[in-house]
Structure 1
C-alpha cells in the first residue's frame, strides 16, 4: 500500500487560489476513480474536483471555508502500489477529521511533544483547543442512550454534507450542538431528527411571542456569500454611484405580452417582462455606447462594446449570481426569454459553465413582485451601468386627458459617475421608456 497525494489543480484563467466550499468524502471513506472529492469556488464558479485514483481517504488538506493555493495538498489517499508520496510524510494541513481519526493505520501519530504549561480554555490557541476536544471525543466511550450533544469550539465546523447543512439551516439548528454518529463524527440526516426529538440535545421550551430571547447564531461568511460580499464591497468602494428613477406606463406592453403568450405561448414559449425590457435596452444602447462599457480604473481605460453581453441578476438558494446572455443584440424576444430561463435554471442547479458567469457589459436586475417602488442597485464592477426593475402597480393616472386605471412601473438604475454623465444616463432611460411605452417599436428594425 502507498500514499497518493492529490493537490489543488490549476483550474485555469490565471487563478492562484480557491475557496474550499464542500467535501464529498471524509476520512475512512473509499473513493472510486473520477468520484467527486470536493467543491471549490473561484471568482466565477463552483468547480467539482474528482479523484484520479482509487483509494481510501487518510487525511483532508483543509476545512470548508479555507482559501487554498493552487498546488497545495487537497487530500491524501491510501492506494494500491507505491503511490506518489512517502507514507510517513506529514500532511500539509491536518483537518479536524484527521485529528479525531487516530485509528487510521496509514498516518502514524507523531512523537509526543513536551507537555505545555497549563492554560485556561480562553487562552488556548484555536487549533490546540480543537485538537484536544477531538482527542477527548475519540477517547470517551459512546453509549447507546442519551448521548449528550458535543460542545464544539466557536470556530470549529462540524462534519456534514451540504445537504445536511442546508436542512439544518432550514430547521434552524446550529450544527455544532448536534451529536454526529457518522464516520469521524459526521452529522447525518438522522442525527438532525434525533436532535429535534431531544435525543441529541435538549429541545428549547416553547415560548410565547412576548418571551425574552437570548439565542444567537454565528453564520460564517464563506463560499458564494463571501464572493458576493467581496464583490459588493469592491463595487461600492471603487465606483461613485448615482441613481436615476423613472416611471413607465407599461399598460400597452403588458397587453401585448398577454396577446403574444396567448398566440405563441405553446409554440414559442411564454414571455415575462424581462426579455421585453432586455430588447429595449439592446436597442437603446445603440445610441449610448458609453453605457455598454467596462471601466478599468487602474489603467484609466474605458472599453465600449458593440456586442451587448447582458448580465441578468438571478437569485439562487446560495445567493445572487449574474449569468450572462451572450450577444443579446442578435436575439429576438423569444430567444432572449429562452436563454434567460436556461441560464437561471443552470445557476440554480449549480451547473452553469464558467464562461456563462463572466464578461457582462451591462446588467439587468429585478425582484419581480417584490421589487418595491424604488431601489438603488449596485453596479456590477467593472461595468458602468445597471438597470433595476420595480414591481408593476395598477393605479389611477391621467391618460389622453382622462383619469383611468393604468399599469405603472419604475425603473431604478445606477451609473458610474466617473464615465457616465447624468444627462447621458437620463437620455438612455428615456429611450428605454419610449420603447416600452410604444412596444411595437421593439419589433421595428432600422438600418
Structure 2
C-alpha cells in the first residue's frame, strides 16, 4: 500500500524565512524521482530549483505560482511505496504523513538532499488550534507559537522589528494566519492611538487619502524577492552608515594599452573589470581599514584579511551583488573567468546563497550604463565601495601638452566610522596611480 509523504519548504539557509513560487516543474499525477527538482522558487537571495527528497507519484501541490510561502509550509505530497506508479491522487490521499519511507530528505535549497528528516506527528483537523476572534471586521488566525512566523514578505518583518512589535503576539488576516503589511500597520496605528489619542484623532481628520491600486493611473509594485531585499539593504545602509564620497579623474590610457598587450599575447582575453579588481585587491592590502565592517552592537570595527570582492550585476529581477571569493589570491585570468561565470549565473537566476553573501568590499562598474560618475550606496554591512565610470576619450594635459586621452572617473564611498578622509583619499589615489601607470602594481605582485 502506498504511503503519502508531505514535503515542506526546507530551511533555505542564510537567515532566509520565505520564498515565492515562480514555476511548478511537476503536475499532480506525475511520477518523480528522488532529488528531482519539483518547483522553482525565488528567495530574497536568488532563484533556485527545489529538489524533492521522495520518489513516487505527486498527489497534491500547495500554493499557486506567485504565492509566498514560509519555511516549513507544505509544498507537495508524494505517494511512495509499492504500486505508486499506478496509484491515482484520489487513492493515495486518505493518509498523509511526514515520516519518510524512502528518499533522502531535503536540507538546503539548490544543494540537493541529505539524510531524511525526523518523523513528526501528523496533526488532524480536530487537533488544529481554534481560530482567533474577528478583529476590525477580519477573521484572524493566530501566529505559530514556535517555528518561523508566517509573514508575507521580509519588508513586513523589518517594519515590525523597527517598531518593536513581536510578530508572535500578532494575528494575521491572510490565508492560514499569514501576517500582512496591513496587519502590522493596523497594530502600529492602534498603538499610536492608545498612546496619543488626541494627536491620532487630529491626524485621522487631516490625513489626505493615499492613492490606492484602484486609483486611475496608479500602479503598485510589491517590493518582494530580490528587489525587496535590495530595498531593505539600501535603506539600512542609509540609516546606519555615515558615508562620505571622494572622487578623482584618472588617465586610463596606460591601463587600456596594458590590457591590449596582454590580449595580443594569446590566451584568454582579460576584462577591464578583472584588472580593476586586481588593483582593488592591491589597494586594500595597503589600506586594510576599508576591507572591514562595523559591529554596532559590540562597538567594534571588524577587519578581514581575505578580500571577498562583490560586484554589482543588473538582472531582470533587480540588482544583485555576486561575490568573487579570495579575490586577493587570483590573477587577471582567474578573475576574468570568475566574473564571467558569476555574471552569467546572475542573469539566469542560478546564483546560490553562498555566492551572494560574505562580501568584504564592492566594485561597482556603472560605466557599463554609459555614465561618468555616481555616489553609490554602500553594500551593507561592508565599509566601502569603489565606483568606476565609463572610459572615454577626453582632452587631458599629458606631459605638459594638451592631448586626447582615455579618461575615467573613480569614486570611493566609505564608512566614515572606519577611517578618515586621509585613508580614503590615499586608497583612491593609489587606485588612480595604478590605472594611470599599471607598472605600479608590480611592487605588490
TM-score of the alignment, normalized to the shorter chain, above 0.5: yes
Alignment match of 2:261 (pick from 259, 262, 265): 259
Supply the distance in 2 between the matched residues of 1:419 and 1:331 (Cα, whole angstroms).
Answer: 26
Matches within 5 A, 1:133-282: 217-264=219-266, 267=267, 269-282=268-281
Output one character per residue of 1:179-219: Cα deviation in whole Å (capped at 9) or x when no partner. xxxxxxxxxxxxxxxxxxxxxxxxxxxxxxxxxxx665443
Match of 1:23 in 2: 23
Matches within 5 A, 1:80-119: 87=94
Matches within 5 A, 1:37-436: 37-51=38-52, 52-61=54-63, 64-69=66-71, 71-77=72-78, 87=94, 217-264=219-266, 267=267, 269-436=268-435
Supply the distance in 2 between the matched residues of 1:312 and 1:369 (Cα, whole angstroms).
Answer: 13
1:326 shift after superposition: 1.5
Supply the distance in 2 between the matched residues of 1:67 and 1:297 (Cα, whole angstroms).
Answer: 32
Supply the distance in 1 between the matched residues of 2:219 and 2:359 (Cα, whole angstroms).
Answer: 36
Q: Gaps (5+ residues) in structure 1?
A: 91-109, 111-122, 128-154, 157-213
Distance 1:411 1:57, change over 3 A: farther
1:301 shift after superposition: 2.0
State whether residues 45 and 225 of structure 2, in contact with CA within 8 Å, keep that contact through their aligned partners in structure 1: no
Supply the distance in 2 between the matched residues of 1:82 and 1:422 (Cα, whole angstroms).
Answer: 72
State whether residues 3 and 80 of structure 2, in contact with CA within 8 Å, keep that contact through their aligned partners in structure 1: yes
Distance 1:435 1:19, change over 3 A: same
1:21 shift after superposition: 3.7
Moved more, 243-252 or 325-334: 325-334
Match of 2:36 in 1: 35
State whether residues 61 and 76 of structure 1, in contact with CA within 8 Å, keep that contact through their aligned partners in structure 2: no
Moved more, 19-28 or 221-230: 19-28
State whether residues 395 and 407 of structure 1, in contact with CA within 8 Å, keep that contact through their aligned partners in structure 2: yes
State whether residues 18 and 40 of structure 1, in contact with CA within 8 Å, keep that contact through their aligned partners in structure 2: no
Supply the distance in 1 between the matched residues of 2:422 and 2:280 (Cα, whole angstroms).
Answer: 17
Supply the distance in 2 between the matched residues of 1:426 and 1:240 (Cα, whole angstroms).
Answer: 17
Q: Gaps (5+ residues) in structure 2?
A: 85-91, 98-124, 126-136, 142-173, 176-215
Supply the distance in 2 between the matched residues of 1:374 and 1:395 (Cα, whole angstroms).
Answer: 15
1:60 shift after superposition: 0.6
1:314 shift after superposition: 1.5
1:401 shift after superposition: 1.4
State whether residues 37 and 50 of structure 1, in contact with CA within 8 Å, keep that contact through their aligned partners in structure 2: yes
State whether residues 48 and 352 of structure 2, in contact with CA within 8 Å, keep that contact through their aligned partners in structure 1: no
Distance 1:65 1:220, change over 3 A: farther
Secondary structure of 1:28's counterpart equals coil
State whether residues 39 and 51 of structure 2, in contact with CA within 8 Å, keep that contact through their aligned partners in structure 1: yes
1:61 shift after superposition: 4.5
Distance 1:379 1:67, change over 3 A: farther
Distance 1:417 1:74, change over 3 A: same
Secondary structure of 1:441's counterpart equals helix
State whether residues 26 and 60 of structure 1, in contact with CA within 8 Å, keep that contact through their aligned partners in structure 2: no
Supply the distance in 2 between the matched residues of 1:370 and 1:278 (Cα, whole angstroms).
Answer: 19
Supply the distance in 2 between the matched residues of 1:48 and 1:16 (Cα, whole angstroms).
Answer: 15
Supply the distance in 1 between the matched residues of 2:381 and 2:373 (Cα, whole angstroms).
Answer: 24
Moved more, 323-332 or 343-352: 343-352
1:293 shift after superposition: 0.8
What TM-score does the superposition give when structure 1 sets the normalisation length? 0.65
Distance 1:27 1:372, change over 3 A: same
Q: How many residues align?
A: 328
Distance 1:39 1:420, change over 3 A: farther
State whether residues 2 and 86 of structure 1, in contact with CA within 8 Å, keep that contact through their aligned partners in structure 2: no
Output one character per residue of 1:61-81: Cα deviation in whole Å (capped at 9) or x when no partner. 466352403x23222345567
Moved more, 290-299 or 16-25: 16-25
